[in-house]
Chains A and B, each alone.
Chain A
Amino acid sequence: MIELKDIDMTFGIGTPDENHVLNGLSLKVNRGDFITIIGSNGAGKSTLFNVISGKYSPTSGRVIFQEGDVTSQPEYRRARYIGRIFQDPLLGTAGNMSLEDNMVITQKKGFKGLKISLNHQLREKFRKELVQLDMNLENRLSDNVGTLSGGQRQALTLLMTVLSQPEILLLDEHTAALDPKNAAKVLELTCRFIEKYSLTAMMVTHNMQQAIDYGNRLLMLDNGQVIFDVSGEEKKNLTVDLLVKKFHEIRKSDFLSDEALLS
């Protein structure tokens, strides 16, 4: 469904700061996959998402969606198939506008015309969807999004993104900036929505236990390559210790500093 072929991504080519972030990375994402991605800082997790979403265009290699080769498509065009949620809860919504106005903007992808969609019927629909969040947001449709807490905003972003029915959901450490209680809540909602709307999703996380507990497939990134790709039964039987051992086997490098970062 999504295929990355031999992606190379080098920043600052020809400068002393040249940085080879992705190193011939190839990956095939199947429909219905819920992939968790781990890897230490600088392994290329965020760059991978940026290449898929089109924020960066790869130095070489191809990005192929169901629609065809999208490697040269600009970010805004590709965005019609992608729902991306960032770590920063402020990035998914416009804080200066009301909940309902925000939801009007995101309910459908693509350029908007000169019609007023917001009516009683649509408000009812929004209300019904917001009830799922269980945050009493259904009674705050005309409040500014800026008055919501970080957790509420991220949950709202998640709901808005899911409702636009993207082909793939990219979750870029989307709970990392939240307090533990809200993080758990947003993660729980994420799983529920992925199941309910049978979405294909990729989730970057820094928490190994989380990566093991959620999803049906796990990727470990290191030095711009997928060094470990596990799914099905094998993934279910994983433990953090096993994962660390696996990493040692593959890399045979000092894992101490990375372990500290990952757990």
Chain B
Amino acid sequence: MIEGILVEGLIYGIMALGVFITFRILDFPDLSVDGTFPLGAAVMASTLTAGWNPLLCLLLAFAAGAAAGMLTALIHNTLKVPGLLAGILTMTMLWSINIRVLGGRANLPLMRVETMLTRFQHGLGAALSQPAALLLFCFAVVLVIKLAMDFFFHTDLGLTLGALGFNEQMIIAQGIDPRALKYIALALANGLVAVSGAFAAQYQGFADVNLGQGIIVSGLAMVMLGEFILRSNRIGWLTSRVILGSIAYRAIMYAGRYYGYYINLTPNDLKLITGILIIAALAVTKLQDKKGAAKKGKAKK
């Protein structure tokens, strides 16, 4: 069970990192995620089934997600529609695209296909038990992604992106087109989400067009949970806590699934729990803010 929580936490953590980029860094509520997650899964599953090199399949999944993210940015930038609507449009259209990618069906099993995960497990099978090898692999993948992201947000371009969500006027004043930055950030975020979907498909042994339903909400819950775990402003900590939040979220979901029946909860109630989790997180943050403001006010007097 604990391996399951960690592995899923790590795999979905990649998705949460993408959500973190759009919602927290860019301040752009991007709902394309519900479509790009299964897109990544679909691209991975269909290319793997066709016998392509797994690494190439993963790159293709990233590229597909990135392209979808850019579509959202394109709709938002050129038609000046709110980001929320642009994301919903992309997400809706992707549902049809995903079915096409899967070859005209809603589900593609990967049971007899050699995936990145099974390859690694077999490769290390002698030295480590299968679950341990899987965990090690996922940990390594997430670590590489996290470190790459930390590096990116230390570069001049990354810093500019960091300022954009907070103060668009400042970015314009620097002679930078904010639209260009939005393309980059949305591509990056949705590329990550698609990679997460690609790994989820390999882990679960199938790609399904409905894999992404409500995924954005769970991603948001992960990001918010992480914000409770530790407070910091350093990008290295920010990305770490997103992954920790993802693992915590998985743990709560597991608890709900395994012990929920004592209080008559079924797996169907997990979405309700997710929603309540987010509302609780929002409420607690609000309360803390109020307390903080009250304290400050007192100190001033």
Residues of A at under 8 Å CB distance from B? 74-77, 79-80, 82-84, 86, 90-98, 101-102, 104-106, 109-118, 144, 164
Interface SS of B by simple majority: helix
Other than the given A79-B175, A112-B155, 4 more pairs (CB < 8 A) read A97-B159, A101-B162, A106-B174, A111-B176
Query: Do A114 and B157 touch (CB < 8 A)?
Result: yes
| Residue picked from A77, A92, A98, A114, most chain B C-beta under 10 Å | A114
**Contact at A110–B166, with CB atoms within 8 Å?**
no
Q: Tell me if B289 counts as interface (CB < 8 A to partner A).
A: no
Contacts of B177 in A (CB 8 A): 74, 76-77, 111
Interface string of B166-188 (1 = CB under 8 A from A): 11011111111110100000000
Contact of A114 among B152, B166, B171, B172 (CB under 8 A): B152
Q: Are B175 and A97 neighbours in the complex by a CB distance under 8 Å?
A: no
Q: Is the CB of B155 within 8 A of A110?
A: no
A110 to B174 Cα, complex, angstroms: 6
**B78 on the A face (CB < 8 A):** no
A82: chain B residues at CB < 8 Å are: 173
- Please state if B156 and A76 are interface contacts (CB–CB under 8 Å): no
Q: Please report the total number of B residues contacting A with Cβ < 8 Å.
A: 23
Instruction: List chain A residues, Cβ under 8 A from B175.
Output: 76-77, 79-80, 109-111
Q: Smallest CB-CB separation from A96: which chain B residue?
A: B166
CB distance from B60 to the nearest CB of A (A): 23
Residues of A within 8 A of B160 (CB): 105, 112
Complexed CA–CA distance, A141 and B156 (Å): 17
CB within 8 Å for A105 and B159 given contacts A84-B173, A94-B167: yes
Q: Give chain A residues whose Cβ lies under 8 Å from the Cβ of B166.
A: 94-97
What B residues does A96 contact at CB under 8 A? Answer: 162, 166, 233
State the B residues within 8 Å of A (CB).
152, 154-157, 159-160, 162-163, 166-167, 169-178, 180, 233
Central interface residue in A95, A96, A106, by most chain B CB within 10 Å:
A96
Closest Cβ–Cβ distance, residue B108 to chain A (whole Å): 36
Complex contact B159–A91 (CB within 8 A): no
Residues of B within 8 A of A105 (CB): 156, 159-160, 163, 170-171, 174
A112 near B176: Cβ-Cβ < 8 Å: yes
Residues on the A chain within 8 Å of B180, using CB: 111
**Nearest A residue to B173, CB-CB:** A79
Residues of B within 8 A of A113 (CB): 155-157
Q: B162–A115 contact, CB under 8 A?
A: no
Chain A positions within 8 Å of B159 at CB level: 97, 101, 104-105, 112
**How far does the alpha carbon of A105 sit from the alpha carbon of B174 in the complex, in Å?**
8
Decide yes or no: A104 and B156 within 8 Å by CB, A76-B175, A111-B176 being known contacts: yes
Q: A250–B162 Cα gap in the complex (Å)?
A: 50
Query: Which of chain A's residues have a CB closer than 8 A to the CB of B171?
Result: 76, 105
Does B176 lie within 8 Å of A144, measured CB to CB?
A: no
Choose one: B154, B174, B233; the contact of A116 (CB below 8 Å).
B154
- Contacts A101-B162, A113-B155 given; indicate if A144 touches B170 (C-beta within 8 A): no
A93 and B167 form a contact (CB under 8 A)? yes
Q: How distant is A96 from chain B, measured CB to nearest CB, in Å?
A: 5
7 examples of A-B residue contacts, CB within 8 angstroms: A75-B172, A77-B175, A79-B173, A94-B167, A97-B163, A110-B174, A114-B157
CB distance from A71 to the nearest CB of B (A): 17
Q: Find out whether the CB atom of A116 lies under 8 angstroms from the CB atom of B155.
A: yes
What is the minimal beta-carbon distance from B93 to any residue of chain A, in angstroms? 29
Asked whether B233 lies within 8 Å of A144 as measured between CB atoms, the reply is yes
A172→B157 CA distance, assembly (Å) = 28
Bound complex: CA of A76 vs CA of B179, how far in Å?
10
List 10 tightest A-B contacts by C-beta distance, closest first.
A112-B156, A80-B175, A94-B163, A109-B175, A79-B175, A94-B166, A112-B157, A76-B172, A94-B167, A114-B155
CA distance A106 to B173 in the complex (A): 9
- Tell me, in angstroms, the Cα distance from A115 to B156 when the chains sit together: 6
Q: What's the least CB distance linking B95 to chain A, in Å?
A: 34
A229 to chain B, nearest CB (A): 28
Given known A105-B163, A144-B233, contact A110–B152 (CB-CB < 8 A): no
- Whether the pair B170, A92 counts as a contact (CB closer than 8 A) is yes
CB proximity of A168 to chain B, nearest CB, Å = 13
Report Cα–Cα, A116/B235, bound state, in Å. 14
List chain B residues, Cβ under 8 A from A77.
175, 177
Contacts of A114 in B (CB 8 A): 152, 155-157
Q: Most B CB atoms within 10 A — which of A77, A79, A91?
A: A79
Contact A91 B233 (CB under 8 A): no
Q: Is the CB of B176 within 8 A of A91?
A: no
- In angstroms, Cα B173 to Cα A97, docked, is 17
Instruction: Report the separation of the CA atoms of residues A235 and B177 in the bound assembly, to the nearest whole angstrom.
Output: 40
Chain A, residue nearest B233 (CB)? A144
| Bound-complex Cα distance A92 to B163 (A) | 11
Measured between beta carbons, the chain B residues less than 8 angstroms from A80 are 175
Min CB distance A141 to B, Å, is: 14
Whole-angstrom distance between the alpha carbons of A219 and B231 in the complex?
51
